[in-house]
Every structure is written in C-alpha cells, then in structure tokens.
Amino acid sequence: MEHEENLKRQRKASVVTLYLSSTHTIFVENNPETRKETWVLHSMVCSVERPPTTPAGSQLILRCKDFRVFQVLIPQERDCVDVHASLVRLSRPGVCLFQDSKTLKLFRFFLLF
C-alpha cells in the first residue's frame, strides 16, 4: 500500500481528567510534563458500554467509528452511571428520550450568537 501510515498507539494506562462538552469528550492527561489532550467528537462515538463493576471501580468503554477504543476506570459507581447516561444521550443527537413522562429532545446543531 502506498499511503500506509503507522500510527503510534499509546497502550499504557494513564491518569486523565474527563471533560464533557456539548460537542466533544475530552481526555486530558494529568502528567504536567506532557499534558496531552484527546478530543473525541460525540458523533464519532459508536457505542458506550458499562461492564459490571469491579473492586477497583466502574469501567466505561467508548468505541468510536474510526476504530479507536477508550477504556476509562471511574472510582465511584454513581459518577460512572452519570457519565454513561450523558455520553449515551450526547452521542445520539436528535433522538427523543422519554423520562418521567416528559419528552427530552436533543438537538442536532449547536449555535452560538
């Protein structure tokens, strides 16, 4: 293949801070030397899985449409449930969700004026 490119993949675990914005999930490494940021567009998320809780904490697995996989270990189960629910909603824009007999509509576009 002419245009083959070898991508450097980081396979080691690192401590990150997770940010959720209206359009992206952002992973920021806590290492002050590198401070690397990884931005994932919500529309690129294919699935969000939450396997059973382990003694170390609750795990989230984000599978992206570009074949990237992010495994996140969150110490508190309640925080993991909240992040999972938010990511499921944010990764499926324009879907009506029924919650407590109220309809919540997530919009496809985010406009700033």
Quickly tell me which residue has 């499926």 as its tokens.
92
Q: Is the pLDDT of residue 19 over 80?
A: yes
**Per-domain residue ranges of the chain:** 16-105
Burial class (CB in 10 A: 0-12, 13-18, 19+), 9: exposed
What are the tokens at 75?
A: 């110490």
Please state the pTM of the whole predicted model. Answer: 0.71
* pLDDT at residue number 110: 47
Q: Which has the higher per-residue pLDDT, 35 or 41?
A: 41
Checking if the pLDDT of 7 tops 50, the result is: no
Give percent above pLDDT 70 in the chain. 72
Say if CB 46 and CB 40 are below 8 A apart: no
Do the Cβ atoms of 91 and 107 come closer than 8 Å?
no
- Provide CB contacts within 8 A for 86, sequence distance 6+: 20
Map residue 13 onto helix, strand or coil.
coil
How does pLDDT run across 50-104, given as a tens digit for each residue?
999 999 999 999 999 999 999 999 999 999 999 999 999 888 866 545 454 455 5
Q: What is the pLDDT of residue 34?
A: 82
User: 30 pLDDT exceeds 80?
Assistant: yes
- As assigned by CATH, the class of the 16-105 domain is mainly beta
Confidence of residue 6 (pLDDT cuts 50, 70, 90): very low
